[in-house]
């Protein structure tokens, strides 16, 4: 899957393992490692349907106010939000990473 970053801090966090952005700089190293691992899983997937087979991700399409947004777990507390984007044939092979969010906050 092709990965794009909606937030420069997410890209910096993926590439460098840390960021100066106030939103993500206090994340623990365990969360950062899991974020990088999850992005690598997304990159390795040939299409979004492949994510269902990786049980540790707990891939989910959101409903209600978050309709159109998808998530994978980083741990029991943190989620990676992204939107999948179809290619010209309608097959979803692109992901736009939006944010890391603490669940229920």
Q: Which two tokens stand for residue 75?
A: 């741990």
Give the chain's domain count. 1
Residues 13 and 60: their CA atoms lie apart, in Å, by 23
Residues 33 and 74: their CA atoms lie apart, in Å, by 9
Which domain CATH number covers 73?
3.30.2310.20
Average pLDDT, the chain: 91
In this prediction, residue 98 carries a pLDDT of: 94
For the question of whether the overall pTM of this predicted structure is more than 0.95, the answer is no
Q: How many helices (H) and strands (E) does the chain have?
A: 2, 5
In this prediction, residue 89 carries a pLDDT of: 76
| pLDDT, tens digit, 9 for 90 and up, residues 53-92 | 999 999 999 999 999 999 999 999 999 999 988 877 767 7
Q: Which domain holds residue 30?
A: 2-102
Examine the pLDDT at 25 and tell me if it is beyond 80. Answer: yes
Q: How confident is the model at residue 20 (pLDDT cuts 50, 70, 90)?
A: very high
Cβ atoms of 2 and 93 within 8 Å: the answer is yes
In this prediction, residue 103 carries a pLDDT of: 75
Instruction: Give the percent of the chain with pLDDT over 90.
Output: 75
């Amino acid at each position: 899957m092709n990965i794009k970053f909606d937030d420069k801090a997410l890209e910096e966090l993926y590439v460098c393992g840390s960021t100066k952005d106030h939103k993500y700089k206090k994340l623990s190293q365990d969360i950062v490692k899991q974020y990088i691992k999850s992005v690598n899983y997304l990159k390795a997937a040939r299409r979004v349907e492949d994510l269902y087979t990786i049980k540790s991700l707990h891939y989910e399409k959101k409903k209600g106010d978050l309709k159109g947004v998808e998530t994978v777990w980083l741990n029991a507390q943190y989620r990676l939000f992204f939107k999948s984007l179809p290619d010209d044939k309608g097959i979803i092979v692109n992901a736009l990473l939006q944010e890391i969010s603490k669940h229920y906050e």
